[in-house]
Chain A
Amino acid sequence: QKEVEQDPGPLSVPEGAIVSLNCTYSNSAFQYFMWYRQYSRKGPELLMYTYSSGNKEDGRFTAQVDKSSKYISLFIRDSQPSDSATYLCVIAEGGSEKLVFGKGTKLTVNP
């Protein structure tokens, strides 16, 4: 079993839709949870960072972590064409320098 499993997509939605992106992980030692957005031919950009179970909201983005189920989600409200990108769930152990990446979900928001 891979350490991080991410819904592979691709995902195509109309503008204004609510988008749900999901990952599961296997190692309960993981304590830090991040979502990065990567546009084509660009480096990943940090969207959300959290280390506790529950919801964290930032504008149209909500990150949700359920440590008991080892499940993390990113919700995008009122999706825009500019949200079209690949979204990476990324997790880390406490005290570890290494990040563990999901394979990414490619999202297309159609005008």
Chain B
Amino acid sequence: GAVVSQHPSWVICKSGTSVKIECRSLDFQATTMFWYRQFPKQSLMLMATSNEGSKATYEQGVEKDKFLINHASLTLSTLTVTSAHPEDSSFYICSARRSGGGETQYFGPGTRLLVL
């Protein structure tokens, strides 16, 4: 199998606080991980691509200082939403691509963030 986990599954926080979301590939090594955001009834929007040991590549319009990504190992990537605001409330989903495994990405279960 190719299992990807995310933690936490949901989080509620106050405006101005920072939230960290973890993404782990449980049974495979992932040189590349991806972070997506999904608003209700819309498809996934790629935020950034993260390669182990190097800086993340952000999509146009995504603030790198607001969405900090760390890919410290072949099985773990973290997304930190800094100084969160209500408009950051969304469903954040990570995915991982196997080392040498082609283009297929395996998605985590998602983290629902609600900023009050």
| Interface residues, chain A, with chain B CB atoms under 8 Å away | 32, 34, 36, 41-46, 49, 88, 92, 94, 96-99, 101-104
Contact = CB atoms under 8 A, between A and B. Distances in A.
A104 B43 contact: yes
A43 B107 contact: yes
Q: What 6 pairs between A and B have smallest CB-CB spacing?
A: A43-B107, A92-B103, A32-B103, A43-B110, A44-B107, A101-B43
A96 B21 CA distance: 26
Nearest to B97: A97
Q: Is the interface of A mostly helix, strand, loop or mixed?
A: loop
Contacts of A46: 2, 104-107
Interface of B: 2, 4, 6, 32, 34, 42-44, 46, 49, 91, 93, 95, 97, 102-110, 112
A41 B112 contact: yes
Chain B interface SS verdict (over half): strand
Nearest to A31: B103
A44 B93 contact: yes
Contact of A101 (B6, B44, B91): B44
A98 B49 contact: yes
Given A97-B32, A101-B44, A104-B43, A43 B93 contact: yes
A66 B35 CA distance: 30
